[in-house]
Amino acid sequence: MDIVDRIIISEEEIQARVRELGEAISRDYAGKTITLLCVLKGGLMFLCDLAKHITQPVAYDFMSVSSYGDATETSGVVRIVKDLEESIEGKHVLIVEDIIDTGLTLSYLLNNLHSRNPASLRICTLLNKPENRRVEIPIDYVGFEVPNAFLVGYGLDFKQLYRNIPFVFVPKKELIENL
């Protein structure tokens, strides 16, 4: 079964924009070491591609938070599934996120991380869905503004599948109904 209803952002568009974001981050963090904090699992592909284009020294750390489960819309209840391995106190931290939707998950995460006293805390998201925002989030780097639709691919999943597809798409309704 063909799973793609329509492609929202092509692989080429993603790679070009990720390069631009990496260049901007490199300029903004000149002379500093950056801790790239990847929000798993969706942010992993974006982190890997983005880091290739950052010329400043970077360290990686990972968190996993959950607010969706297997649903296509957030539950609003956020929990930390995997916490950081290293302290971020005094470090320049850049949160690398796949998509910011309602803002509820990231708002919780920001409050949690600010309490750990980083030198700076910024956000880089590949996809921004402002139409669905419930909590305003200060986003420093945005790859693309996207429509209020259920999106899959390039790290975004449906029931843990299709993260490996190199573009972002709206899946066919039959896919969602049949899985």
Q: Is 15 left (phi over 0), alpha (psi -120 to 50) or beta?
A: alpha
Strand ranges (E), 47-140: 58-66, 79-82, 92-100, 120-128
Residues 27-33, mean pLDDT to the nearest whole number: 98
Number of domains in the chain: 1
Question: Is 73 part of a structural domain of the chain?
Answer: yes
101 assigned to active site = yes
Q: Is the pLDDT of residue 166 over 60?
A: yes
User: Is residue 2 in a domain?
Assistant: no
The catalytic position among 2, 70, 101, 140 is 101
Q: Is the pLDDT score of 126 beyond 90?
A: yes
Q: What pLDDT is stored for residue 179 in this prediction?
A: 55
Predicted local confidence at residue 73, as pLDDT: 56
Q: Domain for residue 90, yes or no?
A: yes
Structure tokens at 75: 């539950």
What does the pLDDT read at residue 1? Answer: 47
163 located within any domain: no
Q: Are 96 and 54 in contact (CB under 8 A)?
A: no
In a domain, 161, yes or no: no
Residue 72 has pLDDT above 60, yes or no: no
Which CATH number do you get for residue 67? Answer: 3.40.50.2020
**For residue 125, is pLDDT > 80?**
yes
In tens, the pLDDT along 73-121 reads 555 678 899 999 999 999 999 999 999 998 988 999 999 999 999 999 9
Q: Which domain holds residue 79?
A: 11-147
Task: Flag whether 179 is in a domain.
Answer: no
pLDDT for res 75: 54
